[in-house]
Amino acid sequence: MKVIIQSHHVEVTPSLKEHLQEKLKVIKRHFDQIIQINAILGVEKAHEKELRQSAELSIHIKGKDLFAVSHHENLYQAIDLAVAKLDKQIIKVKEKVKNHHHPVAMKHFSADSAGMNL
């Protein structure tokens, strides 16, 4: 898994990078086929001071790209919110991959078995 961190108007400190890496371990625990993660951390000129810090995360997995954005007054909290959004998306993708065509395959299998016994 390759992690690319970019920043806009903010310095990426080692503690910030470590916090992001720790939070991304949760996503990797749920789905281990992640190819690349792009993180853009920044401070925006927002009229609302409490929503100035932003975290944009995009994950590239085989056949799909997932994206989440969050804004908060604290950059660490913005990262936590974005990771939580991506975690929900990853779980949903995993369920689709896990259950893909399974009931249909079972229906066809039972129909073929019944036809052969005649």
For residue range 20-44, what is the model confidence (pLDDT) as tens digits?
999 988 888 888 888 899 999 998 8
In angstroms, the Cα distances linking 69 to 39, 48, 55, 100, 103 are 10, 17, 6, 28, 35
- Residue ranges per structural domain of the chain: 2-116
* CATH level 2 (architecture), domain 2-116: 2-Layer Sandwich (3.30)
Residues in the chain: 118
Query: For the whole model, what pTM was predicted?
Result: 0.75
How confident is the prediction for the chain on average, in pLDDT? 81
**5-14, 48-57, 80-89, 108-117: segment of lowest average pLDDT:** 108-117
**Residue pLDDT, tens place only, 67-98:** 999 998 889 999 999 999 999 998 888 887 77
Cβ proximity of 35 and 28 under 8 Å: no
For 62-104, list the strands marked E by DSSP.
64-72
Report whether pLDDT(106) > 50.
no
